[in-house]
Each structure stands twice: as C-alpha cells, then as structure tokens.
A and B are shown apart, each in its own frame.
Chain A
Amino acid sequence: MICSPLHLLEIVSPCTGGAALVVSRADALGDCPQDPVYLLGAGEAGSHTSVTHAPSLTHSWVQHSAGRAFEMAAIDRKSVDFVQLYDCFPITLLLTLEDMGFCAKGEGGHFVQERDLSWQGDFPCNTNGGQLSFGQAGIAGGMCHVVEAIRQFTGRAGERQLSDPGLGLVHGNGGIMGEQVTLVLGLE
C-alpha cells in the first residue's frame, strides 16, 4: 500500500517522453500524404483545483465535457468503436466510464470486469496499454491517448491494430479530477 487505498500497481509511474500531432483546418489539408482524422466533437469542463474542494468525490464533471463532445459530434456514446481514457489511477478510468454513462454510478468496476478491454475485445479501451502500463510523461501523458487514437484510425497501430475503426473517444483529465476534456474523433 502506497497511500490508502492505492497499491503500487494502481499508481501511474512517472517517466519522460513526448507526444505531438499536427492540427489543421479541414479545408487547408492540401496534399497531406495521409488520410486525416477529423475532430468531430470536443467538450471541456472544470470543477475545482484541489481535490479537497471538489464538489463531489464520486461524481465528476466528465459528464459535462463528454455531454458537450457527444452533442457537438451528434453521436451516441454507444456508437464509438474504441475509447482512450486518461488513466493515472484505475479509479480515474472507472469514474470516467461511469460519468460518461457507459454504466451506472458505482458499477465501473463490474463494467470492466465483465468486458475484454483489449484491442481484440468487446470494449477496446486504451489499446496502447495506457499510462498505467507505460508511465506518465507529464503533460504528454494525456497526449499519448490522442496519438494512439490517430494511430488506430490511420492503420499504424501495428500488432494491436483495430479492424476498421470509424469513431473513437478520447478523454483527458487534469489536476485531480478537476479538469476534463473529451474528444470525439473519426474518419469522416
């Protein structure tokens, strides 16, 4: 036990690294050598700085950022083919799933236990293993999920390549569950 209730393998490991992607207006792609991935929806919500002042420890504002992203993209969460969710601790990912509406509050643990989260599974989640597998490179930690989504869409995910993903969901969280950003990405 490091800090109750978190054990060693439930805590993201600090590491160094970087991540980058090129963002462009859709009408300014020119002769881009590869197919673009489109940003179809985005939502942001910020509720607190210190977790001590969080309006709730069990209900995050992921519901607002995700709600805005789904509305902008005009999609239902059930239509996404894979999700890349910020995962500094398992509870972060579980709360995110619950507050996005993938399952009822308090059911996040059961939800992931009953599903195969691998790239071949029925609910592909963090197909690159996520930060809990390879570490958290500071601010690049959140970017790794965007980069993985783009690799999946552009067929560059190697051995873990999903077959034909059409819609993907990326979620980043900053502070201590205080700042939430959700993106809906797709091929068209």
Chain B
Amino acid sequence: MKHYDKPLPEPTATSAPFWEAAHRGRLELQYCSACDSFQYYPRAICANCWNEDIQWKQCSGRGTVHSYSICNIPTLPSFKGEVPYVVAAVELAEGVRMTTNIIGCAPDDVHIGMPVEAVFERVTQEHTLIKFRPHTD
C-alpha cells in the first residue's frame, strides 16, 4: 500500500467502534433508545438526554450535502496533490451531520442538497476514512 502522509484518525475508547466499523465498510452511529436519537461525533453519553446506555447502529450511509467549500490552497502540504477538493458537511438520513469529503464528481458539480452516499476509503492497513459520492436512485 502506498505511503499515506495525511493525518490519520486517532481512535479513543469512545470513538474506536466508529472507526472499526468503517474499516469493515459500515457506517455505524451511536443511537440512544431512551430519546430515540442518533448522535455524531461519538460521545460517552447521549448528548441529548445524558443516558449512558447508548448502542452502535448500522446506518444507511445516505445523506445530502448540507454545505461545502472547494479547497484550492490546502492547510497542510500533504493535501497539495488533492486540490481542488471538496470539504463538506453531510447531513445523514439519520439526522446527524459529518465533516467529510465529496469525491467521485467534479468539485463544481457539488451543490447544497445533493444526494450522496458513503464511500469507504482504505488509506492504510489499519485505517479507513468515510467519504461521500453523488448518489442517484
């Protein structure tokens, strides 16, 4: 596998299940049955009702672009080869938002409200990142 020089996730005890699921090609989110809500990013308790008993649930991986920016000048030199790339907030069907990249289309084709689906990008032997691409039914 090609050397990957961009920042990598550093899972904590709380977030490890998210990254492990991603590595298996699944988008899993924390779900609180007490208040019937999903949450992202991972937290030790339900941020809505403070319930401690939260589960991990596999999600559809579908969502829409909530907002985005096309990056031409990267923050870190290691992203130089990627420009222009799209940094986006994707609103998942489960009602939470993720910071991610939109891939699989020209940056200029991205628009607010665009339907997207999760893509699992294995970047090292141990790490998989979740990005999104346009989705059409």
Q: What is A's interface to B at a CB cutoff of 8 Å? A: 1-6, 50-53, 57
Say yes or no: A3 contacts B69, CB within 8 Å: yes
Say yes or no: B72 contacts A52, CB within 8 Å: no
Nearest chain-B residue to A1 (Cβ)? B72
Residue of A6, A50, A53 contacting most chain B CB atoms (<10 Å): A53
A57 to B66, CA, bound (A): 10
B73 — which chain A residues lie within 8 A by C-beta?
2-3
A127 to B89, CA, bound (A): 35
Contacts A1-B70, A2-B73, A6-B69 supplied; 14 other A-B pairs, CB < 8 Å: A1-B72, A2-B71, A3-B70, A3-B71, A3-B73, A3-B87, A4-B69, A4-B72, A5-B69, A50-B41, A51-B89, A52-B66, A52-B98, A52-B99
Nearest chain-A residue to B90 (Cβ)? A52
Output the least CB separation between A56 and chain B (Å): 11
For A4, give its contact among B66, B70, B99 (CB under 8 Å): B70
Q: Is B97 an interface residue (CB 8 A)?
A: yes
Instruction: List 23 A-B pairs, Cβ < 8 Å.
Output: A1-B70, A1-B72, A2-B71, A2-B72, A3-B70, A3-B71, A3-B72, A3-B73, A3-B87, A4-B70, A4-B72, A5-B69, A6-B69, A50-B41, A50-B99, A51-B89, A52-B66, A52-B89, A52-B97, A52-B98, A52-B99, A53-B97, A57-B67
Nearest chain-A residue to B108 (Cβ)? A4
Nearest chain-A residue to B100 (Cβ)? A52
B70 — which chain A residues lie within 8 A by C-beta?
1, 3-4
> Which residues of B27-48 are within 8 A (CB) of A?
41
Chain B 104-134: CB-based contact to A (< 8 A → 1; otherwise 0): 0000000000000000000000000000000
A57 — which chain B residues lie within 8 A by C-beta?
67
